[in-house]
Amino acid sequence: MGSYWAEIADAHQTEQQIEFLRRHLEKGGYILDVACGTGRHTILLNEMGFDMVGFDASVKLLKIAKQRLRHIQLVRGDMRFLPFKPAAFSAAISMDTSLGYLPSEEEDVESLAEIKRVLKPKSKFIIDVFNRAHFIAKYRERRSSVTHKEYPSFFLDQKQTLSESGDRRFDRWEVHDRQSGQVKVFEHSVRLYERGQLERLLINAGFSVKEAFGGYEDQDYSADAPQLIIVAYMY
């Protein structure tokens, strides 16, 4: 999935995300990109003068990232056990819903607490996730939808299904490779959070929540916004 994901990720609102991060981050000290994937945010922020370190669990995605980021430190590991010293970073980011893939909510809190551990006092943490309230409204009448998307080397048929409780989204991706003609199927699910839930998790992990946005252009948060972006602080 790694090579396909590189095309999907690069096409996904990267410019707006980078501009949002540029406005809300300060230079000076290293910034940890948690679940950096192929490194698209890491490299662009570095080109803007931010000192970056990328971290991800995926060998395949980090291999792609290393081809782009030869001069930037990339580290593989588990979000619940970050391999960094306390107070190693001046800020951290977690974009594109990297939270919610672990088996339990408690493990999400463990991951957030680990991020707090490696941040310096008065550091900023920016986290971007799918907004549960938006998906509950979207799938109120029917629990699933199918979309078709075209990419340079493949096309994608994506089925999304919301759980009965509305707390988890299940995705089934059929990837049709243009060159080989092969069809590959990938399935995954992610736990969804509403604003109050995510703020509670952050507070339980030791953060103070400052702002919540509903989009990358600093739109005020609303229940119908697809994204939930929170700016939190470690004191």
Which of 88-97, 136-145, 196-205 has the least mean pLDDT?
A: 136-145
Count the neighbouring beta carbons within 10 Å of the beta carbon of residue 169: 21
**Alpha-carbon distance values, 184 to 15, 166, 177, 179 (Å):** 29, 27, 8, 13
Which residue, among 90, 94, 98, has the nearest Cα to 126 in the 3D structure? 94
- Band (pLDDT 50/70/90 cuts) for residue 140 is confident
Count the neighbouring beta carbons within 10 Å of the beta carbon of residue 98: 23
For domain 133-190, give its CATH number from 2.20.130, 1.10.3470, 2.60.40, 3.80.10: 2.20.130
CA dist 234 and 114 (Å) reads 12
pLDDT confidence of residue 222: 95
Q: What is the mean predicted confidence (pLDDT) over 65-88?
A: 94
pTM: 0.90
Residue-wise pLDDT tens digits, 147-157: 998 988 898 99
Query: Which part of the chain has CATH 3.40.50.150?
Result: 2-130+194-234
- Band (pLDDT 50/70/90 cuts) for residue 6 is low
- Asked if residue 213 has pLDDT above 60, the reply is yes
pLDDT confidence of residue 10: 57
Q: What is the mean predicted confidence (pLDDT) over 21-41?
A: 95
Q: What is the mean predicted confidence (pLDDT) over 119-144?
A: 92
Q: What is the mean predicted confidence (pLDDT) over 159-171?
A: 92
- Band (pLDDT 50/70/90 cuts) for residue 70 is confident
Burial 141-164 (b: 16+ CB within 10 A, else e): eeeeeeeeeebeebebebebbbee
Strands 207-213 and 227-234: antiparallel
pLDDT confidence of residue 141: 75
Query: Which part of the chain has CATH 2.20.130?
Result: 133-190
More confident residue, 6 or 229: 229
**Percent residues over pLDDT 90 in the chain:** 77
pLDDT confidence of residue 152: 86
DSSP secondary structure of 127-186 = EEEEBHHHHHHHTSS-SEEEEEEE-SSEEEEEEEEE-TTSSEEEEEEEEEETTT--EEEE
Which residue, among 171, 172, 173, 175, has the nearest Cα to 155 in the 3D structure? 175
Q: What is the mean predicted confidence (pLDDT) over 32-52?
A: 95
pLDDT confidence of residue 143: 81
- Asked if residue 142 has pLDDT above 90, the reply is no
Class of domain 2-130+194-234: alpha beta
